[in-house]
Amino acid sequence: MPIINIVSPVNGFQGNVNGLIHVNIHVSDNMALENMHVQLVNTSMIPVLPMVSLTPSGKSYDAVFDYSINNFRITSGNYYLEVDVSDGTNTARAYVNIYVNGIPKALNGFFAATIPTPGTVDVYKCDTSWTASLFSSAPSDFTDIAVSDYWQQVYVNGSFSGPLKATSIDGSTFGFSIPSIVGSVPYWGPLSVKDSRLWVTYRALNQFKSLDQLGSSNFTGNSDFGFYPKHILQNENRIFTEQKDISSSNVRMVVFSTAGGGLQETPMGVDAIEMFAKDVDNVYVIGNSLGQGHILLYDFLTNGFWEPISLPVGTTTSATQIDANTLLIGLSNGSIYKFTYNPVGLLTWTSGINPTQIRYDEVNAEIYAAEGTNVKIYNLNPFSLQRTVLLPDSVRDLELWHNW
């Protein structure tokens, strides 16, 4: 049976992303050793760095090398250096605990979509020099854009005829393009990103899918008969979907498991503009019914909705989540309201602006607002205008971009 002695790193070693782990492992056996594998895994035993495979010789072997922590997606926390050694008959395994310091999260800038002429979609990139530059221009109609900080990709999809296209921001991925099938209804619906997954609604197919960085599907869900999916929110191991009746104004919340299969559903009562996770069992839904804005909470455990507070008269036009307890909600009356769950309250955050999109940057505690041809950046608390970025045309969608 192989015997493993991990000389270095010692238990409790602290390393840094983009740094090195000096590995020194002595293995021995009463038989000739055949193979050895070393890799860094997380606390769920999932590899986070490529495996190093070695071929020992004889009954005793010393593996000495530097292991590069070259995955910028590794976040701060506890990990294990896992060592496997086999003599062809028996396999031994040993671990040593390592704490890795991840790269601090930072805002790289934002991406904004404009439509300079009908049938053309321009996407602008703005880094922290605060000057927008053209990132891409394509003949297409338009539904949505999304940004994956994990894969450093920008996604843009058409509506009836335009494709879904992924473009690498930093050249680290290949990207992809998926064509639409032109029909009597839009082919695509809204996009959303959760960690490494891009969630896409295929309205014409009555499906929603999760895609990887190459455009390959790793989850497919079907909407109820006579309904099509719209907004998608992955929250832990559940997928919350807004589904709309093809021939009426009925709307449902339908919940799926990420392992596959539907879990439950219930009437929703509003057309959502945004959905946010409050906690593992509760989801905020911001939407409209008959021209009036509402904030609802969906409780998975009771499979029902309730309204924590009534919004002022007006249509909800934009919303963003500050934290599990706090949202900002824009109404058509020209005000943005700050909602808090505990204690339940609604205060005017600012008045006199009517953005079509707002996004929150948790790194700098700032709000990004699409206002006509401007992207305006406000301090969250106290409210103050920090800067204005001018775009050539009206901003149709706005997404923030972080380093991971």
Q: How confident is the model at residue 144 (pLDDT cuts 50, 70, 90)?
A: very high
- 101, 116, 142 — which closes off a domain? 101
Spatial contact of 324 and 283, defined as CB atoms under 8 Å apart: no
Q: Find all residues with CB under 8 Å of 225, minimum gap 6, and list them.
A: none
Same domain as 349, residue 306 = yes
Same domain as 69, residue 113 = no
Q: How confident is the model at residue 49 (pLDDT cuts 50, 70, 90)?
A: very high
Q: Cis ω on the peptide bond leading into residue 382 (within 30° of 0)? A: yes
End-to-end Cα distance, the chain: 42
Domain extent, residue 388, equals 107-402
How much is the pLDDT for 171?
A: 87
- Residue 249, SS3 per DSSP: coil
- Find the length of the chain: 404
Same domain as 111, residue 96 = no
- 101, 123, 138 — which closes off a domain? 101
Same domain as 149, residue 234 = yes
Same domain as 210, residue 96 = no
Please give the average per-residue pLDDT across 310-321, as a whole number.
98
Q: How many CA atoms lie within 13 A of 165 on its CB side?
A: 18
Phi–psi pair at 205, nearest 5 degrees: -95, -5
Same domain as 267, residue 145 = yes
Same domain as 135, residue 80 = no
Q: How far apart are CA 164 and CA 202, in angstroms?
A: 10
Provide the Cα torsion 152, 158, 163, 169; round to 10°. -20
Percent of the chain, pLDDT > 90?
A: 96
Look at the chain and report how many structural domains it folds into.
2
- Indicate the residue type of 31: M
- Chain centroid to Cα 42, Å, comes to 20
Q: What is the DSSP letter of 87?
A: -
pLDDT tens readout for residues 349-390: 999 999 999 999 999 999 999 999 999 999 999 999 999 999
Is the pLDDT at 12 greater than 90, yes or no?
A: yes
- 55, 75, 101 — which closes off a domain? 101
pLDDT tens readout for residues 24-41: 999 999 999 999 999 999
Same domain as 353, residue 240 = yes
Same domain as 92, residue 127 = no
| C-alpha distances in Å from residue 153, one per residue of 19, 127, 172 | 25, 15, 9
Same domain as 263, residue 221 = yes
- Please name which of 187, 168, 169, 167 lies closest in space to residue 179, comparing C-alpha atoms: 187
Q: How far apart are CA 388 and CA 222, in angstroms?
A: 42
Q: Domain of 139: which CATH number? A: 2.130.10.10
Ordered strands of the 132-139 beta sheet: 132-139, 120-127, 107-114, 395-402
Is the pLDDT at 73 greater than 90, yes or no?
A: no
Percent of the chain, pLDDT > 70?
A: 100
Same domain as 262, residue 117 = yes
- Ramachandran area for residue 281 (φ above 0: left; ψ -120 to 50: alpha; else beta): alpha
Spatial contact of 286 and 277, defined as CB atoms under 8 Å apart: no
Same domain as 250, residue 176 = yes
Spatial contact of 143 and 188, defined as CB atoms under 8 Å apart: yes
